[in-house]
């Protein structure tokens, strides 16, 4: 179960450094963060390796779930790696890790989100090696499910 990840990509007509700023500055995060019908009334970001972030996710029913974690790698304006915990880890399961890349494209930049589950310390250390397998695996899973 260690090799579990998903990748979502989106090309946006805005430069990478602008997107990096939107992704890391609370005044912007509160303006855009979250999926449909979720708002972000509060965001806290300590943008340094080991620094913490907290994002409030207000759900349609009025309840708030905090997504939080700490930064593992920061390469402004191209790449961010951070842990991702939803609410209370004891309730929602093992922590996961998110890698966001902002890759320059002719029309702007492509945002690539890789969201992985962290099975154990060994996985955490060798995550680079696992990515290719994850992508192949995701395809296999999709085919198996289809």
Partner 1 sequence: MFSALAHPTRRALLARLADGPASVTELAAPFAVSLPAISKHISVLEQAGLLQRTQSGRVHTCALDAAPLRDAADFVQRYQVFWTQTLDALAAYAEATAPEPESD
Residues 6 or more apart whose CB falls under 8 angstroms from that of 140 comprise none
Read off the DSSP letter of residue 141.
H
| Region 17-36 residues binding partner 1, contact defined as CB under 8 A | 18-19, 22-23, 28, 31-36
Q: Does the protein bind partner 1 through residue 127 (CB under 8 A)?
A: no
Whether the Cβ atoms of residue 30 and residue 40 lie closer than 8 Å to each other: yes
Instruction: Determine which residue in the list 46, 73, 120, 136 makes contact with partner 1, applying CB under 8 A.
Output: 136
Mark the segment that binds partner 1 (CB under 8 A) among 42-50, 72-80, 109-117, 120-128.
109-117
Q: Residue holding tokens 């002719």?
A: 106
CA distance 115 to 77: 19
Q: Does the protein bind partner 1 through residue 13 (CB under 8 A)?
A: yes
CA distance 25 to 44: 8
Name the residues that contact partner 1, by CB under 8 A.
1, 3-4, 6, 8, 10, 12-15, 18-19, 22-23, 28, 31-36, 108, 111, 113, 115, 117, 133-134, 136-138, 140-141, 143-145
């Amino acid at each position: 179960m260690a090799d579990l990840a998903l990748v979502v990509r989106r090309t946006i007509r805005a430069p990478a450094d602008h997107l990096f700023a939107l992704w890391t500055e609370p005044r912007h995060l509160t303006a855009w963060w979250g999926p449909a019908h979720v708002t972000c009334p509060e965001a806290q970001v300590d943008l340094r390796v080991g620094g913490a972030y907290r994002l409030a996710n207000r759900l349609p029913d009025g309840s708030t779930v905090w997504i939080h974690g700490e930064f593992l790698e920061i390469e402004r304006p191209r790449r961010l790696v951070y842990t991702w915990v939803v609410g209370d880890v004891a309730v929602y399961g093992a922590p996961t890790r998110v890698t966001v890349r902002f890759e320059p494209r002719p029309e702007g930049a492509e945002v690539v989100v890789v969201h992985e589950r962290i099975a154990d310390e060994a996985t955490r250390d060798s995550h680079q090696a696992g990515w290719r397998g994850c992508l192949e695996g995701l395809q296999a899973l999709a085919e198996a499910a289809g």
